[in-house]
Amino acid sequence: MSTAVVSYTLNGRSGVSATTRERVLRVADELGWRPATAARSLRSGPAAAALVVVHDQPFGTRAAFPLDLVSGALQTLGPDTLTLAVHVAESPTGAAQLMDRWWTERRYAAFVVTGVRVDDARLAALRTLPAPAVVVGAVVDGAPATWQHVVLDDGDAFAQLGAFLAELGHRRIAMVAGSERLVAPVRRSAALAAALVPYGIELRTVAGDGPERAAAALRPLLSASDRPTAIVTDDDATAGLVLDVARRLGLGVPWDLSVVAGTDSPACYLTTPSLTAVPYPVEELGRATGRALRAALGTAASRRAVGVDPTEGEAPPSGTVPVGRLVVRGSTAPPAGN
């Protein structure tokens, strides 16, 4: 029996008789044999993609996002074609260097990027590479054709939220963005502002990177006579902070102040009161990421021979993931005067 026959069998190619194929599979199983990744990659190029996480905020409440995302991506990926590995870097620059290096070493066939920052070093690096990439949580202008994008439907999410708050009677609403270095919060606060326009409400926006700066910005805001009656944050941690500042100022939540977290998470029901929140369908985002990854690798020009079936043609474009219904909990109520 020649090695070619075995190779054909294992790669499911035609030209092997049913009996031979069965025998090959049986013997391989008995011997516990599997083709060596390295040898296969040497011939055919890497069959793995990497998600490089910028992990500069350890212990963060949403830090598990990448794992949830991968968990979802696996559902649309199937472990046999492409594996998706998660790696950790301490900074965008570090992540950029890793991706550059691993692309040059032909270690990975594609990259996934999340938590995109303003002027993100990772995107700059990826541009110089002809690497397929999936950008999660942001749409990059003038992106190479080999990139795919996956974003949440913030428009819908914040339309729901805007309607909810406006119909409770709120008129003075502010948004506390967690970090203006991240692209997503900026886009999301714009989406909320747009959603409030029909109600004639002008969103006030407070920037605050890190808990200290956010708290510092928050205190004068909540002490003023025309203080907002509702505050929307970008994440659970900032919402918790708002709760804390409000408590210290003697403001009762939700009676004197409504608080909404822009990103639902388990921490949102550990607080007192539990936090009304914008859903965060990470798993679905992951499934979309898996599809986008296949699409990115399907881009003929960018192929590095992953096991993608060429006859499948161009995969459907990646896209916008719907969010579910707003999750109403204890932190929201009509404003005091209502």
Partner DNA sequence: TTGAAAGCGCTACCAT
Partner DNA sequence: ATGGTAGCGCTTTCAA
**For binding to DNA (CB under 7 A), which residues are involved?**
1-8, 10-11, 13-17, 19-20, 33-36, 39-40, 42-44, 305
Q: Looking at 47-55, 135-143, 187-195, 304-312, which segment touches a second copy (CB under 8 A)?
A: 47-55
Q: Quick one: which of 282, 256, 257, 260 has its CA closest to 271?
A: 260
The entry of DNA, a second copy, none near residue 270 (CB within 5 to 8 angstroms by kind) is: a second copy
Which is closer to a second copy, CB of 79 or CB of 200? 79
Which is closer to a second copy, CB of 103 or CB of 164? 103
Cα separation, 93 vs 164, in Å, equals 40
Cβ 126 vs Cβ 141: under 8 Å: no
Which is closer to DNA, CB of 13 or CB of 325? 13
Which is closer to a second copy, CB of 75 or CB of 223? 75
Residue 147 CB, nearest approach to DNA (Å): 25
Residues contacting residue 248 through CB under 8 Å, at least 6 positions apart: none
* Out of 25, 26, 33, 91, the residue judged to bind a second copy by CB under 8 A: 33
Cβ 188 vs Cβ 234: under 8 Å: yes
Token pair 């965060």: residue: 280
Cβ 336 vs Cβ 229: under 8 Å: yes
Cβ 220 vs Cβ 213: under 8 Å: no
Which is closer to DNA, CB of 63 or CB of 305? 305
Token pair of 89, please? Answer: 């870097």
Query: What region, left, alpha or beta, does residue 94 occupy, with left being phi > 0 and alpha being psi -120 to 50 degrees?
Result: alpha
Which residues form the interface with a second copy (CB under 8 A)? 32-42, 46, 50, 53, 55, 58-61, 63-64, 66-68, 70-71, 74, 79, 83-88, 90, 98, 101-102, 104-107, 236-237, 240, 243, 247, 265-267, 269-272, 282-283
